[in-house]
Structure 1
Amino acid sequence: MEQLLILMSIIQKNVLNIPFFSQTAFLGILIIIYRRVVDHVSLEPLDNLKIRHYAFIGLVMISQFLAFIGLTNEGYGLGSILKKFVIAMITVANFIIIYFVMNMLMRHDYQVKKIVTGNFWAFVLLIGICLIQIIYVFLGGRLESIVELIGRHLEFHNVLNPGSFEKVSYAQSTQRVNGLYAESGFLAGVLAIGFAPFILSAMKNKVNLFFPNKQYHSWFYYSLFAVLVGVLVLAKTSTGILAVGVIALLLLWAVKGRERLNLIILYLIAGALLAVIVMRVPALKNMLLSFTVGKTDSDSTTMRLLATQAVFITLFKNPLVGVGFGQTSHFNFINAPSAVKKLAEYQLFLKNKDFPDQSAWGSVLAQFGLVIGIIIIIYVIHLLLDLRKSTNWLQSKKIIDYQYDRAIYDSAVYFIIIYLILGMLSIQWSFDLFILMFFFFVNFRHYLNRKITKHLKEGEVYLHD
């Protein structure tokens, strides 16, 4: 069940066709019912919720209601506003369900380990799909039938960019790698945020996170890291190039001593080889330049910068409660700088009557407001401090699996860092995999607290004996 949930989360296309309801949350409901009825597991998550948690949920509902009521000034009718509010609350319900199911699946250490192992198999599945697309794109159309099959049944299509789907799949239409997502940039975000944290942490702590019952082998994780970097580069996206830079620096920060020196040498050798290859292969040179240096002169970059400016203007004009979940498009049109209206991409947005946000965190703040945003920031900081405190205590007492627990804490740190940096771009912040991983770390804190409490109680029994 744990691994199935992670595998399902990488498929962003709603294959169940349930409007506005996450298929991962739907699977979560089935798991909760099964565990309650068949395995007789109590709904313990309710025990972990305190008054402040209920207050936060209530605050989200009230602030979103106020945000949507504000749409009356934009000419929206009450019926339309009510529908938008219900959709927003369904989204919040999706997140709450995912929190509950992750809590229910993290009662014991073997369950925690299964979830992390499930992350590995999800990585293998997604990389496998990417490799098929890479072969198709770079080796003259081989495996086209498989690429088309994936595009037809599993790939999420971006209705705002119909030109990217002249054929069945994104890879066929654009000759770029996108995995299962609407754009290559979204794939880069998923690979870096969803999978790199565990790989980096395993390499730092020399702990086999994916297969904890087996010995750690550095070659295995360095191979995973190399494959990850390779796919990010070949995805032909500036988000992927940024992601490579971030995770490469994080790895350099993570390792120490001789290994750090070796890594620096390896980076220099890899950079030199890449430079030689680029000079000798014009196609590769054009690809890298077009999505790095060359992109700074393109209309696409200008569009992203001006669109990002628009969403932050929307935030500054509606700072406290925002404009409501999913409602920034209307305000982006209003707040977009005049220069953006000259660009072809803007005309496409205008034709489709939708102006997507070009910054994930700008989007979140503009939709939910600074009140909710600041509370979440404080919560995340508190979460990391609690995880560090708990793992330090377990390490000082040499409690069983303390190395593994410490590695999970480091994964949480890497997850937040990568998420924060890439979130400045137009990644999809609400992907199921991101929400699952966030609540994995949230519930890992509960798991550690139970572990510490159990150890203290056993110590009291020992003293009384």
Structure 2
Amino acid sequence: MSGLLIPISLFVKTYTYALPTTVAEFPILAFLVIIAYQAVVDHGAQLGEQFVTRKAFLFTVFAFLAQLTAILISYLRYGDSKQDAGILHGTLNVIGLFLTILVAYFCVRATITDMLAVKRFIRAIFLTLIVFSLFVLLPQLIASLSNNGLHSWVNLVASLFEKRWKFRNWYDNGSYVTTMGRLNGFEAEAGYLAAQIACVFLPMTIAAIANHFDYFQNAVVKSRGWYFLALIWLFVVLFFAKTTTGFLVIGIACLTLFWKSGATDRIVYAIVAVVISIGIFVSYLTVPSVTNLLNQYLFQKGGTDNRRGGTIGLILTFIHNPVIGVGNDWAGSYLMQYVPWRTRNNPEYLTVYSKNSYPILSVWGGWLAQYGLAIVGPILFYIGKRIKLAWTLKARLRASHINDRALFLTLIDSFEIFLIMYFVLALLVFSWSEYYMLISFFFYVSVLNIAENQLSSEESLANEY
């Protein structure tokens, strides 16, 4: 079952806007079936008792009540507004968010119970990348570079699986790719695909290369050709997604690969980086298409007024509501109050944001403004404890002789890369609560727990003798 989690989570198309987004997607039904199956066949009544601690339960109840309180306060302040979800739909969205997190948590904890499940999960990620690339990403790349190549196939796949935002004309030609000329996978836009690649596929790829580890052989190896090929392919996809997020992800990926690699590999990577940088610089100066692409999406990127203004608005919203925030999906009216007027004189604001709803354009700002320190603080504290545990386990693993020692060390590196990707990209905007994000995080938490249990067992046996 663990091998099904990531493939299922990629199907993010929203089938109705009457329900919260992640509740209106295919994965929630599939994951509920998996949880029910695991509960009946494998765990029975122990599912809840084994996987939910008292602290976690109490915090969940507190966070839910805090959100309802924040929504009520915001409603009393602004009433019904097109900028906000409304008190009924806002409450449903909170329920949907909590349900999504709980479903992802239970799904991972019910299926990732031993190293066999861990290995199946990892191998499924790379098999998913191969299938997703052949049937979705490669056709999208070809379609984005040609006038009619594979457009029919790309539009057909998009009609079945592509997530789409309301009030946008990005899909008028049948799909995002054929309309915008940019890769998006199944996501609503290119930046969200870049974040998906950054957090689901790149961490394990980079960790495998840095540690000379092959997940399929479950061993340290000299040859890492397939993983280098995967890395290069993902960089190509990110480049032709033509988004600032994609270029940022490429930069972070290169830095984390250099950070995690050994001294000899670092020298090689430094030389390669210099050569590639010179090549890009020369191409930027001499190849018009490269010049235009990098200027449009990186060096001279326009249309940043809304992102800058929205971020300022979210910070001011948080400063005025620091404890419990303003409520999930209730930042719109506050943004209309706090976003600087000098950032509003642009077509996107005038035609979309002012008439419908000002979206959250910074995940960090959205977390703080909507949920406040009372919710964000304890979650960051929990993640900090997981990071501390990971570092402690690293030291213990290096001194141990357990069978999967090299795999655990590789996955801990992958966990660190995942967190760096996730929290750096949170300065921008992406689908932070999609199932593939939550499942990836809870997978690493489960791996840490399994590693700790195995090390404790080994140390107990050593003490007996």
TM-score by length of 2: 0.92
Q: What amino acid is aligned across from residue 5 of structure 1 in structure 2?
A: L
Structure 2 gaps, min length 5: none
Please name the residue that 1:132 is paired with.
139
Deviations 1:139-161 (A, max 9, x none): 3320011111121111111114x
1:206 aligns with 2:212: yes
Give the superposition deviation at 1:115.
0.9
Query: Quick one: which amino acid aligns to residue 389 of structure 1?
Result: T
| Distance in 2 of aligned mates of 1:46 and 1:348 | 51
The alpha carbon displacement at 1:209 in A equals 2.9
Equivalent pair of 1:120/1:210 in contact (CA under 8 Å): no
1:240 aligned partner: 246
Report the Cα offset of residue 434 of structure 1: 0.7
Partner of 2:388: helix, strand, or coil?
helix
Q: Confirm whether residue 19 of structure 1 aligns to residue 19 of structure 2.
A: yes
What are the residue-to-residue correspondences of 1:368-447 with 2, within 5 Å? Answer: 368-447=371-450
Contact 1:45 1:103 in 2 (8 A): no
Residues 299-358 of structure 1: per-residue CA shift (max 9 Å, x gap): x11221111111221111111111111211222122211112311110122464111111
Q: CA deviation at 1:211?
A: 5.1
What secondary structure does 1:164 align onto? coil
Note if contact 2:137-2:183 (Cα within 8 Å) is conserved in structure 1. Answer: yes
Deviation at 1:184, TM superposition (A): 0.9
1:353 corresponds in structure 2 to 356
Q: Could you tell which deviates more after superposition, 44-53 or 360-369?
A: 44-53
| CA drift at 1:63 | 1.1
The superposition leaves residues 374-429 of structure 1 with CA deviations (integer Å, 9 ceiling, x where unpaired) of 11111111001112223432331211111101111111111111111111012221
- TM-score between both structures, scaled by the size of structure 1: 0.92
Partner of 1:166 in structure 2? 172
Task: Note the alpha carbon deviations across 1:233-255, whole angstroms, 9 max, x for none.
Answer: 11111111111111111111111
Q: Give the conservation status (yes or no) of the 8 Å contact 2:39–2:47.
A: no
Rounded to whole Å, the distance in 1 between the matches of 2:261 and 2:374 is: 38
Shift, 1:26, TM fit: 2.5
Residue 152 of structure 1, aligned match among 150, 154, 159: 159
Is the contact made by 1:7 and 1:121 (CA closer than 8 Å) also made in structure 2? no
Name the counterpart of 2:78. 74
Say whether the 8 Å CA contact 1:156–1:181 is kept in structure 2: yes
Q: Quick one: distance in 1 between partners of 2:191 and 2:228? A: 24
Alignment of 1:299-318 (within 5 A): 300-318=303-321
C-alpha distance 178-446 of structure 1, shift in aligned 2 (>3 A): same
Tell me, in whole angstroms, the C-alpha distance in 2 between the residues paired with 1:220 and 1:240: 22
Q: Is it true that 1:451 corresponds to 2:454 in the alignment?
A: yes
**Count of residue pairs the alignment pairs up:** 457
Aligned residues with identical type, % of pairs: 24
Contact 2:51 2:109 in 1 (8 A): no
User: For 1:291, what is the secondary structure of its paired residue?
Assistant: helix
In the alignment, structure 1 segments of 5+ residues that lack a partner are: none
The answer for the alignment partner of 1:260 in structure 2 is: 266
Q: Which residue of 2 aligns with 1:363?
A: 366
Q: Deviations over 1:12-66 (max 9, x none)?
A: 1135999331533332221122123334566345324322212211221121021
Structure 2: how far apart are the matches of 1:40 and 1:343?
56
Alpha-carbon RMSD: 2.3
Paired with 1:46 and 1:213, the residues of 2 have a C-alpha distance of 36
Amino acid at match of 1:134: L
